[in-house]
Structure 1
């Protein structure tokens, strides 16, 4: 099938291809650069010191291979609406069912968390306004943007992501300048020696190993470019460019920003509960530093929620567009603008209801559910690698390797290396009570979905007889 055939496809099940190269690039970047970097990186630095940079470098390389595997799958079938379809094709419909609803749930929880956080960030300027009310207003704006057309979403996300990138570039440039002039701060001088003078491995190898949990979780969402496959103009050229560029840009931004921070402020003086970005700006005398960073994290939270609504709508459409059920059939239809409006509406109503319910539910309950959601991304990454391995074995068996549009470097060793890495991260989760409980909860969720699918298939088989 040629690109022109794809673009001109009038099939009612095919979404409009309105995303440009710059949209896809920034969507993928914006999905992984979240509030965790701006607010939570102080805790990461406190746990392991400058060796957090090495953890990001290793994880970034693994993300590159995961993205390449994803690209191999996406370009194996240009008619697929998302990466869930090749997972179902190569690992079975039951696994595809589990993967689809798991991914949908992950982003629903993500949207609830981010819209709630956005309401709290607005309280910084307007303390009298209830966070849930602000959250619902933001959600309504996001909904309107998502149902106009896919280009409107892409353009909005482009500018949201750009604000975060500008903030990161600013901290990197400031750090370089301060190191060059050996700027004196209240806690010492800005210098590269701050990266190693107080120990590169802050809390030894154990702290370094435990840091991978936070590092991996901060990069969840990198695979979201796989949700844009069905709406990207010229996917054969755009998707490979986005996949090849994003992991290295993530490494640059995360490592660059954290290295700049730790050069300006010795890592052992950084307050774990405070934003290191705010601390840097305060130490060089920038007034209103907290307000500036609050604006950036508000943008980051709104951006992440925007991406979550986009993803949940596309995932629900992908899971229901072949359904014969009365309700699910409506969810699997497209609007006149060729967007899954019904699926977006259903997803956003759930997020809105959960946002209100979140006010009444004890905080610990939601934090636990969010932890399970985050842990499930390990499961999704594993499925991407396994599906890619199955596809490549099929291609090699047929002798069609030369026809591959996008190859996995160092195949098959790179694929197995990623699986070993993901297994290592899963083992790391066992050493903290909170992450251990989340891991067990994830296994319960996956098992329950498998059970639902198997029982549903058995009932369908009986009805056919």
Structure 2
């Protein structure tokens, strides 16, 4: 029970956090969206996923080091505040909140398209609002509701991916009688492993990177569990096999069995195209159900994550005080509603205004993932020595510190520079830079005002 009215409850169970860490943020990007990356890079997309996955593993290790030592619902935003400065925590916190608020209409629209195909009598926009409203309710009453929904959503995704991998292995070995193909010949027989050159592989990294966004949610969710440090340590250590199995193994089977230049890939999506090749009846219906679960899960996580981030900002005085107040059950209801309202407006904007308006809005979050990862790396670089000086126990430690941390800090700006050279990514980068610059300016102003007030109080 919350006594102060501003504290979160430890309502997430061990199994909730475990399943959230395993598959909580696997969304339509893996089941459908990865087809675009495959069509761009060919079989070489495996290198794109491997590189993006390695970067995520390293960033998660850095974040895990800080989060296991000092669990906090603000996660990397709080650590940036402590290690870099208040302006940094303010900026990355609000940018991350903005990212997840924009995920709400994207996932709601994806769910609405599937539901509208099943029940066309109800318009897409109505389905989008219904889905958003239902998942908002699950986040309003008790964090255990979020955990329970997310547990079953994630479990269904795990079952679907494991089943797909099982079928794929049988198909590769020629043990699936109904399959149209077997072996791994498609890795090389359509123009080679890198049909569009290595540049396409690098470009695909930018696409695949966003399939991994959200891995860090477990460090936020664990703060609402009874043993946060233990949960964070376990989730951080398991991230390697999670990426290897769910992403690399499944994509390997797709590019091994489906020609990378198949017109069905962009049209039907990754898993549906592969299941059709396997000769699985009702492939579209199966994938539709899995994708519906995946997008509902991501929308659920988006509402949860956005509300906890703005709650943390409120606790630090970087958001209106109302967002930090909690119910008797320890739920930041105002924070949930504030995030949902913006999400609702974005859903409405997606249907009420020209497509270009929503596309421009969405572009503002295009490179936020890379900015978040960069802030995590810089924070860990500085915070490691702070924690050691303070004698804080660190159950998770970054590998080869500080050399690997510095490598990540160099690689991420290089990726942002590469985005600037590609016409397809330039607009997203420009829009993200615009909103990031505006937020940083506000953050610096807020930080300076806070410092002046502090000095006045001391005098």
Do the aligned residues in 1 keep the contact of 2:271 with 2:287 (CA within 8 Å)?
yes
**Structure 1 length as normaliser, TM-score?**
0.91
| Deviation of 1:81 (Å) | 4.5
Flag structure 2 segments of 5+ consecutive residues without an equivalent: none
- Partners of 1:373 and 1:104 in 2: CA distance: 10
| Deviation of 1:337 (Å) | 0.3
**Structure 2 length as normaliser, TM-score?**
0.92
Matched, 1:152 2:145: yes
- Partners of 1:412 and 1:288 in 2: CA distance: 51
Alignment CA distance shift 1:113-1:399 (3 Å) = closer
| Deviation of 1:236 (Å) | 2.0
Which of the numbers 84, 90, 95 marks the counterpart of 1:91? 84
| Deviation of 1:271 (Å) | 3.1
Q: Partner residue of 2:297?
A: 303
Which stretch of structure 1 is more off in the superposition, 191-200 or 84-93? Answer: 191-200
Q: Partner residue of 1:274?
A: 268
Alignment CA distance shift 1:439-1:324 (3 Å) = closer
Which of the numbers 435, 445, 457 marks the counterpart of 1:455? 445
| Deviation of 1:455 (Å) | 3.3
| Deviation of 1:424 (Å) | 3.0
- Partners of 2:182 and 2:161 in 1: CA distance: 18
| Deviation of 1:445 (Å) | 1.2
| Deviation of 1:107 (Å) | 0.3
Q: Partner residue of 1:196?
A: 188
- Partners of 1:80 and 1:324 in 2: CA distance: 15
Do the aligned residues in 1 keep the contact of 2:2 with 2:330 (CA within 8 Å)?
no
| Deviation of 1:261 (Å) | 1.8
Matched, 1:424 2:414: yes
Flag structure 1 segments of 5+ consecutive residues without an equivalent: 1-7
Q: Partner residue of 1:126?
A: 119
Count of matched residue pairs: 453
Alignment CA distance shift 1:126-1:446 (3 Å) = same
| Deviation of 1:9 (Å) | 8.6
Q: Partner residue of 1:216?
A: 209
The 5 A counterparts of 1:224-243 are 224-243=217-236
| Deviation of 1:433 (Å) | 2.2
Which of the numbers 328, 347, 352 marks the counterpart of 2:344? 352
| Deviation of 1:10 (Å) | 5.3
| Deviation of 1:453 (Å) | 2.9
| Deviation of 1:438 (Å) | 1.3
Alignment CA distance shift 1:324-1:252 (3 Å) = closer
Do the aligned residues in 1 keep the contact of 2:45 with 2:204 (CA within 8 Å)?
yes
Which stretch of structure 1 is more off in the superposition, 259-268 or 443-452? Answer: 259-268
| Deviation of 1:184 (Å) | 7.3
| Deviation of 1:456 (Å) | 4.0
Do the aligned residues in 2 keep the contact of 1:30 with 1:304 (CA within 8 Å)?
no
Which of the numbers 26, 35, 38 marks the counterpart of 1:42? 35
Which of the numbers 255, 265, 273 marks the counterpart of 2:258? 265
Do the aligned residues in 1 keep the contact of 2:222 with 2:231 (CA within 8 Å)?
no
- Partners of 1:280 and 1:101 in 2: CA distance: 39
